[in-house]
Amino acid sequence: MELFNERLTAIKTMLCVLLMIQLSLMAIMVKGEVYKVGDSSGWVANTNSNYSNWASSKIFRVHDILMFEYNATNDNVIRVTHSDFRSCNTSAPIKTFNSGNDSFTIKAHGHYFFTSGFPGHCVTGQKLDVRVPKSSHVAATPPPKPTTSLSPSPNPSNSTMSPMESKAMAPSPVDNAVASHEPKWLLMSTIGVAISGFVVLVCS
Protein backbone atom coordinates (compact mmCIF):
# COMPACT_ATOMS: atom_id res chain seq x y z
CA MET A 1 0.00 0.00 0.00
CA GLU A 2 2.84 2.34 0.85
CA LEU A 3 4.56 1.60 -2.46
CA PHE A 4 1.33 2.32 -4.31
CA ASN A 5 0.99 5.68 -2.55
CA GLU A 6 4.58 6.58 -3.43
CA ARG A 7 4.00 5.77 -7.09
CA LEU A 8 0.75 7.72 -7.08
CA THR A 9 2.53 10.73 -5.57
CA ALA A 10 5.31 10.49 -8.16
CA ILE A 11 2.79 10.30 -11.01
CA LYS A 12 0.88 13.25 -9.56
CA THR A 13 4.06 15.32 -9.27
CA MET A 14 5.10 14.49 -12.84
CA LEU A 15 1.66 15.39 -14.12
CA CYS A 16 1.77 18.72 -12.27
CA VAL A 17 5.16 19.54 -13.78
CA LEU A 18 4.00 18.70 -17.31
CA LEU A 19 0.86 20.76 -16.92
CA MET A 20 2.81 23.73 -15.60
CA ILE A 21 5.21 23.54 -18.56
CA GLN A 22 2.30 23.41 -20.98
CA LEU A 23 0.64 26.36 -19.26
CA SER A 24 3.87 28.36 -19.49
CA LEU A 25 4.12 27.63 -23.21
CA MET A 26 0.52 28.74 -23.65
CA ALA A 27 1.26 32.01 -21.88
CA ILE A 28 4.22 32.65 -24.20
CA MET A 29 2.09 31.96 -27.27
CA VAL A 30 -0.70 34.30 -26.13
CA LYS A 31 1.79 37.14 -25.64
CA GLY A 32 1.76 39.59 -28.52
CA GLU A 33 4.46 40.81 -30.86
CA VAL A 34 6.96 43.47 -29.81
CA TYR A 35 7.37 46.36 -32.27
CA LYS A 36 10.16 48.89 -31.99
CA VAL A 37 8.61 52.14 -33.20
CA GLY A 38 10.56 53.44 -36.19
CA ASP A 39 12.59 50.22 -36.39
CA SER A 40 16.32 51.04 -36.49
CA SER A 41 15.73 54.81 -36.46
CA GLY A 42 13.76 54.69 -33.25
CA TRP A 43 11.59 57.53 -31.96
CA VAL A 44 13.15 60.73 -33.34
CA ALA A 45 12.10 64.15 -34.55
CA ASN A 46 13.36 65.17 -37.97
CA THR A 47 12.06 66.07 -41.39
CA ASN A 48 12.42 62.45 -42.54
CA SER A 49 10.14 61.08 -39.81
CA ASN A 50 7.17 59.28 -41.33
CA TYR A 51 5.59 57.06 -38.71
CA SER A 52 2.37 56.76 -40.68
CA ASN A 53 4.24 54.71 -43.29
CA TRP A 54 5.84 52.65 -40.54
CA ALA A 55 2.47 51.90 -38.90
CA SER A 56 0.75 51.10 -42.20
CA SER A 57 3.29 48.33 -42.85
CA LYS A 58 2.35 46.51 -39.62
CA ILE A 59 -0.67 44.53 -38.45
CA PHE A 60 -1.28 45.46 -34.83
CA ARG A 61 -3.31 43.24 -32.50
CA VAL A 62 -4.39 43.18 -28.89
CA HIS A 63 -1.46 42.16 -26.58
CA ASP A 64 1.14 43.60 -28.97
CA ILE A 65 3.77 45.84 -27.38
CA LEU A 66 5.07 49.15 -28.78
CA MET A 67 8.65 49.98 -27.80
CA PHE A 68 9.73 53.63 -27.92
CA GLU A 69 13.50 54.14 -27.83
CA TYR A 70 14.85 57.70 -27.82
CA ASN A 71 17.19 60.16 -26.12
CA ALA A 72 15.36 61.12 -22.92
CA THR A 73 17.32 64.36 -22.55
CA ASN A 74 15.62 65.96 -25.55
CA ASP A 75 12.51 63.89 -26.22
CA ASN A 76 9.63 61.95 -24.71
CA VAL A 77 6.42 60.15 -25.69
CA ILE A 78 2.90 61.30 -24.93
CA ARG A 79 -0.38 59.57 -25.68
CA VAL A 80 -3.00 62.07 -26.85
CA THR A 81 -6.59 62.25 -28.09
CA HIS A 82 -7.46 62.17 -31.79
CA SER A 83 -8.19 65.90 -31.94
CA ASP A 84 -4.93 66.79 -30.16
CA PHE A 85 -3.09 64.41 -32.47
CA ARG A 86 -4.43 66.17 -35.55
CA SER A 87 -3.72 69.67 -34.23
CA CYS A 88 -0.39 68.77 -32.55
CA ASN A 89 -1.73 70.02 -29.22
CA THR A 90 0.60 68.60 -26.55
CA SER A 91 -0.76 70.51 -23.56
CA ALA A 92 -3.16 67.82 -22.31
CA PRO A 93 -1.61 64.35 -22.73
CA ILE A 94 -3.47 61.23 -21.64
CA LYS A 95 -0.17 59.77 -20.46
CA THR A 96 3.48 60.79 -20.57
CA PHE A 97 6.50 58.49 -20.98
CA ASN A 98 10.01 59.87 -20.46
CA SER A 99 12.42 57.03 -19.62
CA GLY A 100 13.96 56.79 -23.11
CA ASN A 101 13.00 53.11 -23.32
CA ASP A 102 9.23 52.93 -22.86
CA SER A 103 6.81 50.14 -23.65
CA PHE A 104 3.08 50.39 -24.31
CA THR A 105 0.91 47.25 -24.32
CA ILE A 106 -2.16 47.31 -26.55
CA LYS A 107 -5.05 46.10 -24.40
CA ALA A 108 -8.09 46.79 -26.60
CA HIS A 109 -9.18 47.50 -30.13
CA GLY A 110 -9.25 51.04 -31.47
CA HIS A 111 -6.85 53.86 -32.31
CA TYR A 112 -3.88 54.89 -30.20
CA PHE A 113 -2.33 58.28 -30.85
CA PHE A 114 1.21 59.20 -29.80
CA THR A 115 3.51 62.15 -30.33
CA SER A 116 6.32 63.99 -28.56
CA GLY A 117 5.65 66.59 -25.91
CA PHE A 118 8.72 68.62 -26.87
CA PRO A 119 7.99 71.84 -28.79
CA GLY A 120 8.10 71.50 -32.56
CA HIS A 121 8.55 67.73 -32.65
CA CYS A 122 4.97 66.88 -33.60
CA VAL A 123 4.83 69.25 -36.56
CA THR A 124 8.00 67.72 -38.01
CA GLY A 125 6.25 64.34 -38.22
CA GLN A 126 7.04 62.72 -34.88
CA LYS A 127 3.52 61.38 -34.40
CA LEU A 128 2.12 57.87 -34.54
CA ASP A 129 -1.40 56.54 -35.12
CA VAL A 130 -1.73 52.85 -34.27
CA ARG A 131 -4.93 51.19 -35.45
CA VAL A 132 -6.11 47.90 -33.95
CA PRO A 133 -9.27 46.91 -35.86
CA LYS A 134 -12.03 44.61 -34.65
CA SER A 135 -12.67 41.39 -36.54
CA SER A 136 -16.40 41.97 -36.15
CA HIS A 137 -16.08 44.80 -38.67
CA VAL A 138 -14.91 42.37 -41.32
CA ALA A 139 -17.63 40.86 -43.46
CA ALA A 140 -16.94 38.19 -46.04
CA THR A 141 -18.37 39.73 -49.21
CA PRO A 142 -18.61 37.49 -52.28
CA PRO A 143 -17.13 38.93 -55.46
CA PRO A 144 -19.69 40.66 -57.72
CA LYS A 145 -21.13 38.57 -60.52
CA PRO A 146 -20.13 39.67 -64.01
CA THR A 147 -22.94 41.44 -65.83
CA THR A 148 -23.54 41.29 -69.53
CA SER A 149 -24.14 44.53 -71.35
CA LEU A 150 -25.61 45.00 -74.78
CA SER A 151 -23.81 48.31 -75.10
CA PRO A 152 -20.02 48.36 -75.60
CA SER A 153 -19.73 51.69 -73.77
CA PRO A 154 -18.52 51.59 -70.15
CA ASN A 155 -20.79 52.40 -67.24
CA PRO A 156 -20.52 56.16 -66.57
CA SER A 157 -20.78 55.67 -62.83
CA ASN A 158 -17.71 53.44 -62.83
CA SER A 159 -15.72 55.74 -65.08
CA THR A 160 -16.22 58.72 -62.81
CA MET A 161 -15.22 56.92 -59.58
CA SER A 162 -12.16 58.48 -58.04
CA PRO A 163 -9.14 56.36 -56.97
CA MET A 164 -9.86 57.22 -53.32
CA GLU A 165 -13.44 55.90 -53.64
CA SER A 166 -12.21 52.72 -55.29
CA LYS A 167 -9.69 52.21 -52.49
CA ALA A 168 -12.35 52.77 -49.84
CA MET A 169 -14.60 50.11 -51.39
CA ALA A 170 -11.83 47.51 -51.53
CA PRO A 171 -11.58 45.05 -48.61
CA SER A 172 -8.81 45.84 -46.17
CA PRO A 173 -6.01 43.22 -45.98
CA VAL A 174 -5.37 44.33 -42.41
CA ASP A 175 -8.95 43.56 -41.39
CA ASN A 176 -8.88 40.21 -43.17
CA ALA A 177 -5.66 39.26 -41.39
CA VAL A 178 -7.08 40.16 -38.00
CA ALA A 179 -10.25 38.19 -38.71
CA SER A 180 -8.23 35.01 -39.11
CA HIS A 181 -6.01 35.83 -36.14
CA GLU A 182 -8.37 36.63 -33.28
CA PRO A 183 -10.33 33.34 -33.04
CA LYS A 184 -7.01 31.55 -32.58
CA TRP A 185 -6.06 33.73 -29.61
CA LEU A 186 -9.54 33.38 -28.13
CA LEU A 187 -9.20 29.60 -28.32
CA MET A 188 -5.71 29.74 -26.81
CA SER A 189 -6.95 31.87 -23.91
CA THR A 190 -9.85 29.48 -23.25
CA ILE A 191 -7.56 26.46 -23.26
CA GLY A 192 -5.16 28.27 -20.94
CA VAL A 193 -7.91 28.93 -18.40
CA ALA A 194 -9.03 25.29 -18.59
CA ILE A 195 -5.50 24.01 -18.03
CA SER A 196 -5.03 26.37 -15.10
CA GLY A 197 -8.12 24.97 -13.41
CA PHE A 198 -6.97 21.41 -14.06
CA VAL A 199 -3.55 22.16 -12.55
CA VAL A 200 -5.18 23.50 -9.41
CA LEU A 201 -7.36 20.41 -9.06
CA VAL A 202 -4.56 17.91 -9.67
CA CYS A 203 -1.80 19.62 -7.70
CA SER A 204 -3.87 20.61 -4.67
pLDDT in tens, 4-44: 667 777 777 777 676 666 655 554 445 679 999 999 899 99
d(CA 87, CA 95): 17
In a domain, 173, yes or no: no
User: pLDDT per residue over 56-83, tens digit each?
Assistant: 999 999 999 999 999 999 999 999 999 9
From first CA to last CA, the distance across the chain in angstroms is 21
**Could you tell me if residue 186 is inside a domain?**
no
Looking at the domain assignment, is residue 196 inside a domain? no
Instruction: Report if residue 61 sits inside a domain.
Output: yes
Which CATH number is 40's domain given?
A: 2.60.40.420
Query: Is residue 27 in a domain?
Result: no
Q: Would residue 38 count as lying in a domain? A: yes
pTM over cut 0.85? no
What is the rounded distance in angstroms from the CA atom of residue 201 to the CA atom of residue 16?
A: 10
